[in-house]
Amino acid sequence: MTNNSAPHEEQLWERWHKERDLESGDELVKRYMHLVMYHVQRIAAHLPQSVHKEDIRSLGLIGLYDALEKFDVTRDLKFDTYASFRIRGAIMDGLRKEDWLPRSIRDKSKRIEQTAEHLEQSLQREVTSKEVANHLGIPEQEVDSIVKDTVFANLLSIEEKPKDTKDEHKEGIGYSLPDHNTITPHDQVIKEENYSDLAHGIKKLNEKEQLVVSLFYQEELTLTEIGQVMSLTTSRISQIHARALFKLRKVLKDTISM
């Protein structure tokens, strides 16, 4: 095993792998619970407040248990890496099955999208969430929140596994898939253009928005950790994050649709 584990942990893995010792299994779950909480924090940042973290945590635990059951200790692979794929995937699968985004939010999202497009055509420029909110007669914070929720819904939908797959390889796009087909030069160019467009959109954000986006998506900090870095409340960081996503709405939409 190449996990660089401490001797005690190696003993836990040996007893679990050979005997399925329940006490060893419970101890391993405790040791790797931080992986579950990490993914819960990151994914919960995109979800409506109506989705409870405890429910997401339960989904993540299913993924952790699944990782313990299926992990091959003889492979040259760290358990942290393998478990992270399984945990995130279990959460994503659970969210898809539960259809966590309420119909009311989907309807409001459609109204916001239509209003934004109408205002942009009328004003011949990009519009702000405040302008959309004023036109609809709703709070700006509500517009930011709904845009944030639906952007994640789009990301969730493109990670859905093909329905016609017949093999037992459970991983979807959000997991680690074997690469049977090398990306074509044409697809590579499109991918690079999408990243380029997104990078250009990020440059148009203000300083705080750029920092939040960088820390969340590049450095992979949680919103709470970003708040500590920037000396702001988690709620304020969430607002900045949501507003940045609104500004990147078109770029993200075009990138996701590719």
What pLDDT sits at residue 159?
52
CATH number at residue 94: 1.10.1740.10
What pLDDT sits at residue 12?
87
Query: What proportions of the chain, in percent to the nearest 5, are helix, strand and coil?
Result: 70, 0, 30
What pLDDT sits at residue 61?
94
Axis-axis angle for helices 33-44, 79-98 (nearest 10): 40
**Which residues of the chain fall below pLDDT 70?**
1-7, 50, 99-100, 151-198, 250-258
Alpha-carbon span 38 to 31, nearest angstrom: 13
Alpha-carbon span 136 to 180, nearest angstrom: 48
Alpha-carbon span 148 to 140, nearest angstrom: 13
CATH number at residue 188: 1.20.140.160
Q: Range of 198's domain?
A: 124-162+181-257
> How deeply is 119 buried, as exposed, middle or buried, from its count of CB atoms within 10 A (0-12, 13-18, 19+)?
middle
Does residue 45 form part of some domain? Answer: yes
Axis-axis angle for helices 140-158, 249-257 (nearest 10): 10
What pLDDT sits at residue 172?
41
Does residue 103 form part of some domain? Answer: no
What pLDDT sits at residue 137?
93
Does residue 134 form part of some domain? Answer: yes
CA distances from 180 to 165, 166, 177 (A): 14, 16, 9
Does residue 110 form part of some domain? Answer: no
216: left (phi over 0), alpha (psi -120 to 50) or beta: alpha
What pLDDT sits at residue 169?
41
Total structural domains within the chain: 2
Does residue 2 form part of some domain? Answer: no
Same domain, 36 and 80: yes
137: left (phi over 0), alpha (psi -120 to 50) or beta: left
Same domain, 235 and 152: yes
Same domain, 86 and 141: no
Q: For residue 110, what are its two tokens? A: 């459609």
Same domain, 232 and 142: yes
Alpha-carbon span 248 to 253, nearest angstrom: 8
Same domain, 187 and 129: yes
Alpha-carbon span 144 to 111, nearest angstrom: 13
Same domain, 225 and 134: yes
What angle (nearest 5°) sits at the alpha carbon of residue 137, between those of residues 52 and 242?
40
Same domain, 91 and 198: no
Does residue 207 form part of some domain? Answer: yes
Q: What is the pTM of this model?
A: 0.53
Does residue 175 form part of some domain? Answer: no
